[in-house]
């Protein structure tokens, strides 16, 4: 999914007591734990983490974030990453978004997405993309609400997106 520009994004405020902090050395384990709970359709492990976030801790510290509950425990993660330079633009990438199931439905995803999009803008990105799976209708609803559009590269994509969008409430 993509968004050609990051102007006019919806704004949401984090519920009281929840906070967001940047990556700290050693947070790979927290990231893995969150994704193990949230990704029931795709296993995650340290190799995936290293492959997806192969930069230094300095880069992770400014681009990877953790959502903390009222007790200060890590319950979500998302990264304001970067993508390939396509069509002459340096794309921002919303990367590996997850909130643990016990905390879903508490009004956290929209404010967390607002924060991540704001970070992309802060880093100088004018447009953004993300990848997702067709089984993630709640996430796709969120991305549609934020103005992201499906990337359709042929008839197969069109069939899949027609099926996915029929399930969405956006």
**Above 80 in pLDDT, residue 42?**
no
Could you give the CA distance from residue 167 to residue 170 in angstroms, rounded to a whole number? 9
Per the prediction, the chain carries an average pLDDT of 91
Region 14-24: mean pLDDT is: 97
Q: Report the predicted TM-score, pTM, of the whole model to 2 decimal places.
A: 0.91
Superfamily of 2-132 according to CATH? Gcn5-related N-acetyltransferase (GNAT) (3.40.630.30)
**pLDDT per residue as tens digits for the range 130-166:** 998 877 888 999 999 999 999 888 998 889 888 888 8
């Amino acid at each position: 999914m993509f968004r050609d520009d990051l102007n006019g994004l919806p704004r949401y405020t984090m519920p009281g007591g929840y906070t967001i902090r940047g990556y700290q050395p050693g947070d790979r384990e927290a990231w893995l734990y969150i994704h193990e709970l949230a990704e029931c359709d795709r296993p995650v492990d340290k190799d995936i983490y290293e492959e997806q976030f192969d930069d230094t801790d300095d880069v992770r510290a400014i681009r990877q974030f953790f959502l903390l509950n009222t007790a200060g425990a890590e319950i979500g993660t998302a990264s304001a990453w970067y993508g390939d330079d396509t069509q002459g633009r340096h794309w921002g990438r919303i990367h590996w978004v997850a909130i643990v199931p016990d905390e879903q439905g508490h009004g956290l995803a929209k404010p967390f997405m607002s924060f991540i999009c704001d970070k992309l803008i802060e880093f100088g990105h004018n447009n953004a993309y993300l990848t997702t799976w067709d089984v993630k209708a709640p996430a796709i609803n969120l991305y549609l609400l934020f103005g992201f559009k499906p990337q359709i590269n042929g008839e197969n994509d069109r069939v899949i997106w027609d099926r996915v969008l029929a399930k969405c409430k956006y």
